[in-house]
Amino acid sequence: MNTPALYTAVKWSMVRLSKDSSVEDLFRTALEAGFDGITLTAPGAYDLDEVLRAQDRTGIPIHNINVADHWQVRLSDPDPAVREASLRNTIAAIEFAHAVGASSVLQVIGKATDPERENAQHVGQRSAEQLTKALPTAARLGVQIACENVANGFATTHGEWIAYLDQFQSPWIGAFFDIGNHDRFDGGAPAWIRALGSRIVKIDVKDHNHETEKNCALFEGNVDWPGVRAALQEIGYHGWATAEVPGGDLEKLTAVSTDMRKALGLA
């Protein structure tokens, strides 16, 4: 059996530099810390030309773009105007991803905030309506929409999440699977990985402490890392794994990179 190829990345928000640091400084720090790639957020956060220059000068790829403001400007919002604004953000993120060579955008599909105006059923229906409108852009530009479900009151079982993803019947929508976020639900992270299988487009990597019910740094929680490695091997996952833990300067990020490679069996 071939060993799946995993590539490590760091989120832009984890790289903590001085206020006068450039985008190139951010990229170079990620590279020096030992990561294979980086994620950014769009629209509105970065100048495209500056990002392209930084990528050319450092050689570190941008593999994913997080859709900006997806918690505040939600696909599931009760206000149709807000949902349309969220759709515009999604499409703009897809276009930015294409421009910088990223293969996916991370989209949190919504949040159940109110039993009457924004409940779990609303999250599923409203987000699906909007994402269906984004699919033509994703397909035309070759960028996958990787949906994330983040303890948001929706789809806490394998079957619910699979049903949501499969309704689109499209290779351009899948799951951005977060190990720490899902470890508290329905059998733990390894069970989720096996159930989702090829629906997993990318993975986020953090731990989860079941006693405090909070996400945490690697090896400070209860995630079964040998089980995660075995499950990823079983489904033949090849691709990106992005750290999402407390960040810091180069020294801190280097330690995160080392721990991440250990957790995923890459050390």
Per-residue three-class SS string for the chain: CCCCCEEEEEEHHHECCCCCCCHHHHHHHHHHCCCCEEEEEECCCCCHHHHHHHHHHHCCCEEEEEECCCCCCCCCCCCHHHHHHHHHHHHHHHHHHHHHCCCEEEEECCCCCECCCECHHHHHHHHHHHHHHHHHHHHHHCCEEEEECCCCCCCCCHHHHHHHHHCCCCCCEEEEEEHHHHCCCCCCHHHHHHHHHHHEEEEEECEEECCCCEEECCCCCCCCHHHHHHHHHHHCCCEEEEECCCCECHHHHHHHHHHHHHHCCCC
Q: How far apart are CA 35 and CA 215, in angstroms?
A: 21
Identify whether 218 is part of a domain. yes
Per-residue pLDDT, 151: 81
Identify whether 200 is part of a domain. yes
Look up the CATH number of the domain holding residue 174.
3.20.20.150
Pairing mode, if any, of strands 6-11 and 239-243? parallel
Identify whether 65 is part of a domain. yes
Per-residue pLDDT, 146: 98
Domain count, the chain: 1
Mean pLDDT of the chain: 96
Identify whether 177 is part of a domain. yes
Q: What is the mean pLDDT of residues 239-266?
A: 97
pTM for the model stands at: 0.96
Per-residue pLDDT, 1: 40
Q: What is the mean pLDDT of residues 38-50?
A: 97
Residue-number span of the structural domain to which 206 is assigned: 6-263
Identify whether 1 is part of a domain. no
Do 110 and 123 touch, CB atoms closer than 8 A?
A: yes
Predicted confidence (pLDDT) at residue 253 exceeds the cutoff of 50: yes
Predicted confidence (pLDDT) at residue 175 exceeds the cutoff of 50: yes
Residues 6+ apart with CB under 8 A from 169: none
Before 43, cis peptide (omega within 30)?
yes
Side chain identity at 126, as an amino acid letter? R
CA angle (38, 31, 147) in 5-degree steps: 15
Identify whether 189 is part of a domain. yes
Identify whether 42 is part of a domain. yes
Q: What is the mean pLDDT of residues 94-106?
A: 98
Residues 6+ apart with CB under 8 A from 22: 50, 54
Predicted confidence (pLDDT) at residue 2 exceeds the cutoff of 90: no
